Amino acid sequence: MGKKHSTLHSVLLCVLLCIVWYVWSGKTGFFTGKERLILYFGLGSVALTWWVSKRLDVIDEEGQPLNPKLFFYIPWLIKEIIVANIDVIGRILSTKKDAIQPTWIKVPAKQRTRFGQVVFANSITLTPGTVSVELDDGTILVNAVSKEGAESLIGGGDMGARVCSLEKDHD
């Protein structure tokens, strides 16, 4: 197993689980009246999940990374997803015959950890017009809608560098 977790890491993970549960609950305000039962079930499920994870000793730094750099990476990734959506829509609506040129490419995953490589592969797949098909031996097999999309990933591109910067040093 990886590094053991600190108490602060464990508390931050619990807070993060509460925030995710609240966002996914669909509630936009405070819980009142009978809705409080839903709140109690939510808090109970978060507490149970945390307790079971702690008992199974599966809470570690790599499995649940709480890296402050994520707060910069996620908005950047959302922007890239929007830009790629616009590009794919433009290609679909284009009258040019070569607007869509499906291309296969092997992209080097230069991340040091398996977690970093998986984040990189998932980021590629989340971006419209590209799909990560296989992650093997430090390379990702990607299918892209266009040659330009494939070429932007050569050498890992900006996305690969940003994911590398998310990785923490592991002893």
Q: In 10 A of CB 34, how many CB atoms? A: 7
Lowest mean pLDDT among 26-35, 38-47, 79-88, 99-108: 26-35
Residues paired with residue 106 on neighbouring β-strands, in sequence order: 141
Please give the Cα distance from 111 to 156 (Å, whole number): 10
Q: Tell me the range of 19-28, 57-66, 150-159 where mean pLDDT is highest.
A: 150-159
Please give the Cα distance from 32 to 26 (Å, whole number): 14
Lowest mean pLDDT among 1-5, 87-91, 157-161: 1-5
**pLDDT given at position 34:** 75
Please give the Cα distance from 5 to 14 (Å, whole number): 13
pLDDT band (50, 70, 90) for residue 10: confident
Torsion angle, alpha carbons of 29, 68, 11, 2, to 10:
140
Q: Answer yes or no: is pLDDT of 1 > 50.
A: no
Q: Answer yes or no: is pLDDT of 144 > 70.
A: yes
Give Cα separations from 22 to 40, 50, 128, 156 (angstroms).
11, 16, 28, 35
Please give the Cα distance from 125 to 120 (Å, whole number): 9
**pLDDT given at position 65:** 56
The DSSP letter of residue 152 is T
Of residues 64 and 31, which shows the higher confidence score? 31
Mean pLDDT (whole number) for 15-20 = 81
Average pLDDT score over the chain: 83
Please give the Cα distance from 96 to 153 (Å, whole number): 23
